[in-house]
């Protein structure tokens, strides 16, 4: 099928590449000349596993790039809207880009098409898209508007698309629903998984996935409710971790005890410095705004966001506990992205913590396997040095902070890190390491929701002129 995807951000780029992988003819449209030129040159603008492989496999074959929206729409049977919906000052989703695209699509509707909202949007958006298109000249009998929310995690977005937990199709007519099911047919009938060149299944989950066919309004609510519930699980385990610290319990054991209950599950029950990224913070604010418009005071969402924000402050208290005073201290940082496996630093708790440390007079040596440059664009270079390895981050630092759960960090040489540090202090905001292992290597080790590993007497290096 001929498909147009409008917008080449995380969602649009991954969706376009994966639709091509399923055998469709895809044109990816973006009006940013720099991004369009980079894609046309063969560059992959984001750090995402398997995405460079798919772009190289299908570019110039099943996947084309364009900056002409009308031509792409006229050539396509299905048009997916995947533009940004950033938050406004009051937390609502800003649908300016969605409306602008809807107006542009309207003028290019020459035969029956389905217009599919792939962006995360509040309920009633599909109704508004249809209304805007009709007001701008699109014949009402020549198009349908659908909602097909994505459930992609950055870092595993390609495999999440190709091996989904479920496919949600929100459509108000059988014709529209049938076309969307036809698009996903290689997943629904399992034929994609029989291919020799298929992207491997990372979770060995049973396929094909279930398909949920519902109304556009229900599909729109499903997306927001899913993200809100997952964010709630993260905030819940962080609140539990706070209690564990107070009473001397171990949150790892508590998490196992909770997560083995099949009604709850272990996924997203990982304590740390809180959630971030482009979805959870924005979507919770937008969902709260939707509830407010409906006359419902969704106070649970308020508390989820409050716990998340407070978690960063609790981590800073741990840093003060370990270093006493912060002014003039040199702090090594492992991780800048909001999570491992991506270079996305939007709403990253790591960046918020670094900003607070710099404000209190710290010097920062930071390393991230993928996000150094993106972080530099936001944080700048005042009292922050971006280095090229975990060991460079540790060198002559008064303490080493773990702020992102990259797999690379799990394999560091502890003896080397201890030798490089000015003091053997590690403060782990992601519970990446085992406390007993850190004790054996002579570290003072603070983590989240677990008993601290302290030291009565440590052997420190003598300060040098270089220090």
Q: Which residues are catalytic?
A: 279
Structure tokens at 385: 């040095």
The residues facing 453 across adjacent strands are 445
Between β-strands 78-81 and 63-66, what pairing exists: parallel, antiparallel or unpaired?
unpaired
Give the number of residues written for the chain: 467
Q: d(Cα 29, Cα 7) in Å, to the nearest integer?
A: 6
DSSP code per residue over 216-248:
HHHHHHHHHHHHHHHHHHHHHHHHHHHHHHHHT
Classify residue 121 by burial, with Cβ atoms within 10 Å: 0-12, 13-18, 19+: buried
Contacts of 73 (CB under 8 A, 6+ apart): 4, 79, 104, 105, 108, 109, 113
Q: d(Cα 105, Cα 394) in Å, to the nearest integer?
A: 53
The residues facing 113 across adjacent strands are 143
303, 236 in Cβ contact below 8 A? Answer: no
C-alpha distances out from residue 447 to 387, 408, 426, Å:
24, 19, 9
The residues facing 347 across adjacent strands are none
The single-letter DSSP state of residue 152 is P
Cis peptide before 360 (omega within 30 of 0): no
Query: Number of helices and strands (H, E) in the chain?
Result: 18, 14
Closest CA to 254 of 453, 448, 426, 438: 448
326: left (phi over 0), alpha (psi -120 to 50) or beta: alpha
């Amino acid at each position: 099928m001929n498909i147009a995807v409008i917008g080449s951000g995380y969602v649009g780029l991954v969706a376009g590449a994966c639709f091509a992988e399923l055998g469709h003819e895809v044109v990816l449209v973006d009006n940013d000349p720099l991004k369009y030129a980079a894609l046309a040159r063969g560059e992959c603008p984001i750090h995402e596993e398997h995405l460079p492989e798919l772009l190289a496999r299908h570019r110039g074959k099943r996947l084309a790039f364009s900056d002409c929206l009308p031509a792409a729409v006229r050539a396509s049977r299905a048009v997916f809207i995947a533009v940004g919906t950033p938050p406004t000052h009051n937390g609502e989703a800003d649908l300016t880009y969605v409306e602008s695209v809807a107006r542009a699509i309207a003028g290019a509707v020459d035969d029956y098409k389905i217009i599919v909202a792939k962006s995360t949007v509040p309920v009633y958006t599909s109704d508004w898209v249809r209304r805007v298109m009709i007001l701008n000249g699109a014949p009402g009998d020549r198009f349908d508007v659908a909602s097909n929310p994505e459930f992609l995690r950055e870092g595993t977005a390609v495999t999440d698309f190709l091996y989904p937990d479920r496919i949600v199709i929100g459509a108000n007519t059988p014709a529209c629903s049938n076309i969307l099911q036809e698009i996903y047919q290689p997943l629904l009938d399992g034929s994609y998984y029989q291919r020799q060149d298929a992207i491997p299944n990372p979770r060995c989950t049973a396929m094909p996935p279930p398909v949920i066919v519902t109304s556009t309004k229900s599909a729109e609510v499903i997306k927001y409710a899913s993200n809100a519930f997952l964010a709630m699980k993260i905030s819940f385990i962080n609140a539990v971790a706070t209690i564990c610290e107070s009473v001397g319990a171990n949150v790892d054991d508590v998490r196992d005890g909770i997560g083995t209950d099949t009604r709850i599950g272990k996924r997203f029950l990982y304590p740390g410095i809180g959630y971030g990224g482009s979805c959870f913070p924005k979507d919770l604010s937008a969902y709260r705004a939707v509830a407010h418009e409906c006359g419902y005071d969704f106070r649970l969402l308020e508390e989820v966001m409050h716990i998340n924000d407070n978690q960063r402050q609790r981590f800073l208290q741990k840093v003060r506990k370990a270093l006493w005073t912060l002014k003039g201290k040199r702090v090594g940082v492992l991780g800048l992205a909001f999570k491992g496996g991506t270079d996305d630093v939007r709403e990253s708790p790591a960046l918020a913590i670094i900003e607070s440390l710099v404000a209190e007079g710290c010097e920062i040596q930071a390393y991230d396997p993928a996000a150094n440059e993106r972080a530099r664009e936001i944080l700048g270079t005042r009292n922050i040095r971006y280095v090229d390895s975990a060991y460079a981050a540790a060198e002559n630092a008064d303490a080493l902070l773990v702020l992102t759960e990259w797999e690379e960090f799990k394999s560091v040489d502890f003896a080397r890190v201890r030798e490089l540090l000015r003091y053997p202090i590690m403060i782990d905001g992601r519970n990446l390491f085992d406390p007993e292992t850190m004790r054996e290597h002579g570290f003072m080790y603070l983590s989240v929701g677990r008993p601290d590993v302290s030291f009565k007497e440590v052997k420190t290096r003598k300060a040098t002129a270089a220090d």
